[in-house]
Structure 1
Amino acid sequence: MEMNEVIIDENLKESIDLWTFMLPIISHRTTIRKNIHGYMPLHWHDELQFVVIIQGEARFQVNEEAIIVQEGDGLFINSGCLHMVEDGNGSNCVYICLNVPAQSIISRELYTAYVAPYVQATNLPYVLIPSSEMWGQNIIEATLNIHQCLEEQPPYYEMDITTKLTVIWKSLITNGFPLEYDQSAMIKNQRMKAMLQWIHLHYGENIRLDDIAKAGQLSRSECCRYFKRTLKMTPLQYVTDYRIQKSVTLLQQPESNVTDVAYQVGFNSTSYFIDQFRKAMNMTPLRYKKSKLERLID
C-alpha cells in the first residue's frame, strides 16, 4: 500500500483508519517528497512505529532530537512522541512504515512485564535500528515480511504476522536499555502538545505569543525556549509555517482564490501571504494552484 499523506487532527495526532480486518496494525510504503507539503509534518500517535528506509536517506526529528537514517536501516518511534520526517539530501527517500498498538505487539498476558515499562519510559523516544547488527537485521527483516504479508495475504498470514511482531519486540528490548521515568519530561511533552494543539485550533485567528504561552501554562520566554528546543523556530514562525501548510490544501480546491485562502488561514495581508508562501514553497500561491489544476487535467 502506498500512502504519502498523514492525516493529522487538531491535536497533532495521526488519524489511522486503515487497520487490517483481523489485526490492529497498518503497514504502508511512503515516498516523502510525494507528500502534499514535500515532507511529513509534525505529528504523534499512540501506536508504536517501526520504519525501514528502502531508498535514500531520511531526516527524522523525534521530540527534540534529530536523527539521520540511511538506506537499509530502520527507526523505532515510541508511543506518544512528536515526530516529523524530511527527505535527506534530495535522495527521493522511500520507506516502509509499520504502526502497531502497544497492546498488540505481544500477548495481553505479557504486556505489563515486557511492553508497558518501555512505552512509559521517558528516555526511549526512539531507537536507531542498524542493519549492520544482528538484532537490527531481525527487526528490519520482520518489518518487511509483515508488510509483504499484508500486501499478499497468503494463507495463515495473520498467524505469521503475530509471530514476527514478537520477534521485533524481543529483538528490540533484549538490548538492555536502562529505563528512566522523568515526571518533568512527561510534563514538558504534554505542554508542547498543548501549545501546538491550541495553534492548530486557532490558526485562522489573530494569534499572539501570550496566547500560545498561556496554552502551555508557561511564561513568554519559556514558551519560546520550548519551541526553539523542539522545533528550532519561534512560536510565531511555527504559526506562519502551519498556516502555509493549511493553505496548500485549500489552494487545491478549484473554486478557491489566493486572497480568500490568505484570510481563511489567518493572514491579514494577501501580499504578506504570497511572500511567505514563496519562501516556503519556492513558488507563488497562484503558480502552485495552477500547477495542481494542470495535473488534474492531465
Structure 2
Amino acid sequence: MNKEEKIGLHETNKYKDLVFPVGVYTVTKAGIVPDGRGYKDLHWHEELQFTMVLEGTMKMRVNTEEYEIKKGEAIYINRNLLHITTFLTDDGKYASLNFPDKLLGFFSGSRMEQSDVLPFTVNYLFPIVVFKAEMGWQKKILQILKETIRILTSNKQKGQEYLISMNLTYIWHLLISNVRKDVKIPSKSYVRKQQRIQSMLSYIHENYMNDIKLEEIAGLVSISVGECCRCFQQLVGTSPNKYLLNYRIAKSMELLNSTALSVTEIAFAVGFNDFSYFIQYFKKSKEMTPTEYRKQKC
C-alpha cells in the first residue's frame, strides 16, 4: 500500500512507483485512500498539491486563510505550507494530487527549473490559488486536472506517465503564465513565521504525552510567550494550549479505536494528568464521553 510516514506534522509521501513520484489521495469523512493525512489532519509536505472537490463542499485552511471549494473546483497549495481540511459536507469527497516540483523542470539545473519552477515554489511567491470554472484559463486547468486524477486512479495503462507529465507541465504553464504578474516576494517575517510554527507544532506532536509548558514551546524558537500565542492565533487559529488539548483528544480517539486500553489508561497515555478533566473535555469536544465514542465505533 502507498503509505506515508508521519513525523509530527511533516508528511513524507512514499509513492507506490518510486521512479514516477506522483500520487492521488481520495478523501471523505470516513477515511483516506491510500493511507495518509486526511480530513481535519493538519500537516505539511515538500510536494506541490492540487486538491479537487469531487462531491459536496470543503473548506481548506492554509496558514491564516480559509478557502471554500465546491464540487468541480480546486485549490493549489505550495510546498512546505501548513494546511488542513476544516470542513467537509457529509457527502463530500475530494482528491489531492501530490508531486515534487522537480517533475516540472524536466531535469535538474534546466532553464525551466531555474526560471519557471524554483522561483515560484521555493520563495512562496504564490502560496495558494483557487480555481473556479468562471475564468477561462482556470476552467482549462480544472478540465486537465480532473482527467489527470481519473488516469491516476484508474487501471494503469502503457505510456500514461508521459500523459500525466504533459498534463502537469501544461497545468503549471497555464498557472504561472496567469499569476506571474501578480506574485510578490514574501517578507522575511512571513517566512520566519512559517518556520517557527512548523517547529512549534512538530514539538507538540512529538511530546504531547508529556507535561508541556508554554514556555518550552516558545523557547524552542527563541520567542516570548506572548509572541508564541500570537503566532498560533494567526497561523493555526487557536491558542497553543487549546491546540495541545485538541491534539491529545485526537490521539485518545485513535487509541479508543485501535486498542483495548481502559479509558483511564488512555487519558494518562495522551498526557492528561486529571482523569475527570479528560472526560469533561472529551465530552465538550465530541458531545459524547470516551466510552460512548468507543461503543459507537464498535
TM above 0.5: yes
**TM-superposed deviation, 1:141:** 1.9
Other-structure match for 2:137 = 135
Other-structure match for 1:125 = 127
Other-structure match for 1:227 = 232
What's the % identity of the aligned pairs? Answer: 31
**Deviation string, structure 1 residues 224-267 (Cα, Å, up to 9, x no partner):** 10111112211100010111111111112342110001001100
2:164 is aligned, of 161, 164, 169, to 161
2:80 aligned partner, one-letter code: G
1:143 aligned partner, one-letter code: L
Aligned equivalents of 1:6 and 1:107: distance in 2? 25
Other-structure match for 1:54 = 54
Aligned equivalents of 1:162 and 1:145: distance in 2? 12
The 10-residue stretch of structure 1 (110-119 or 245-254) with the greater mean CA deviation from structure 2: 245-254
8 A contact 2:119–2:125 mirrored in 1: no
1:15 aligns with 2:24: no
Aligned equivalents of 2:54 and 2:5: distance in 1? 23
8 A contact 1:121–1:179 mirrored in 2: no
1:290 aligns with 2:295: yes
1:206 aligns with 2:215: no
Other-structure match for 1:28 = 25
**Deviation string, structure 1 residues 43-63 (Cα, Å, up to 9, x no partner):** 000000001111111111101
1:101 aligned partner, one-letter code: P
Aligned equivalents of 1:43 and 1:26: distance in 2? 17
Other-structure match for 2:94 = 95
- TM-score in terms of structure 1 length: 0.90
User: How big is the alpha-carbon RMSD for the aligned residues of Structure 1 and Structure 2?
Assistant: 2.2
2:6 aligned partner, one-letter code: I
Aligned equivalents of 1:252 and 1:91: distance in 2? 21
* Residue ranges of structure 1 left out of the alignment (5+ in a row): none
Aligned equivalents of 2:200 and 2:175: distance in 1? 32
Aligned equivalents of 2:64 and 2:125: distance in 1? 12
**TM-superposed deviation, 1:157:** 0.8
**TM-superposed deviation, 1:208:** 1.4
**TM-superposed deviation, 1:33:** 4.9
**TM-superposed deviation, 1:38:** 8.5
- SS of the counterpart of 1:14? strand
Cα distance change of structure 1 residues 76 and 235 upon mapping to structure 2, 3 Å threshold: same
Aligned equivalents of 1:199 and 1:72: distance in 2? 36
1:247 aligns with 2:252: yes
Aligned equivalents of 1:284 and 1:183: distance in 2? 45
Structure 1: 4+ residue segments shifted above 4 A: 35-38
**TM-superposed deviation, 1:132:** 1.8
**TM-superposed deviation, 1:21:** 4.7
- TM-score in terms of structure 2 length: 0.90
Other-structure match for 1:39 = 39
After superposition, where does 1:75-90 map in structure 2 within 5 Å? 75-88=75-88, 90=89
The 10-residue stretch of structure 1 (246-255 or 53-62) with the greater mean CA deviation from structure 2: 246-255
After superposition, where does 1:170-181 map in structure 2 within 5 Å? 170-175=173-178, 176=180, 177-181=182-186
**TM-superposed deviation, 1:6:** 8.0
1:116 aligns with 2:118: yes
Other-structure match for 1:192 = 197
**TM-superposed deviation, 1:275:** 1.4
Aligned equivalents of 2:47 and 2:270: distance in 1? 30
**TM-superposed deviation, 1:95:** 0.8
Other-structure match for 2:188 = 183
Aligned equivalents of 2:269 and 2:224: distance in 1? 29
- SS of the counterpart of 1:260? helix
8 A contact 1:106–1:165 mirrored in 2: no
1:201 aligned partner, one-letter code: E
1:230 aligned partner, one-letter code: L
Aligned equivalents of 2:114 and 2:219: distance in 1? 36
8 A contact 1:78–1:126 mirrored in 2: yes
8 A contact 1:96–1:144 mirrored in 2: no
Other-structure match for 2:147 = 145
